[in-house]
Amino acid sequence: MQSDPPTPSTAAPAAPPTSLETQLSVLETQVLHLQAAVYQAHGLFRDSPGAALLLTDQGRIHDVNVRGAALLGSSRAALLGRSLAKVLPAPSQATLSALLTHVFEDRGRQRGEVQLLTSTGDRLELVIDLILHQHEDQAHLCHVTLT
């Protein structure tokens, strides 16, 4: 048994592909939305009510928020690139190193207790929380909060 040949469609022809200008406009809008989201996320980090830092796998400060800089007793600009271990006594340096190792081995969120050496020589007892912060095209960082 043979089937009838397909009948031509009576629907309107498919819409012509969108123009390059339209595609470019859509992409520009998407970029603007992404830039706004990045700006908002950075603002949330910067103005967070808690002390927060982004550390490299070597424990160097990649970024620090306003509260974190105040807690460490320095400006953000002066802290960038410095090792967080420099403001910790030796036992706390070992704790930080172990926690960072666990985070970068992808063992999930880590928590510990450290002491922070203040500019006046006092020691502050702090809880440190660490979690892996992944960038698609950049090296991974560790998001640290101190309370």
Per-residue pLDDT of 68-119, as tens digits, reads 999 999 999 999 999 999 999 999 999 999 999 999 998 899 999 999 998 8
- pLDDT tens, position by position, 27-43: 999 999 888 888 887 77
What values do phi and psi take at 23, rounded to 5? -60, -40
Q: In the chain, which ranges are E strands? A: 51-55, 61-64, 110-117, 123-133, 141-146
d(CA 135, CA 121): 36
What 8-state DSSP symbol labels residue 108? Answer: -
d(CA 64, CA 52): 6
What is the pTM for the complete model shown?
Answer: 0.75
Is pLDDT above 70 for 54? yes
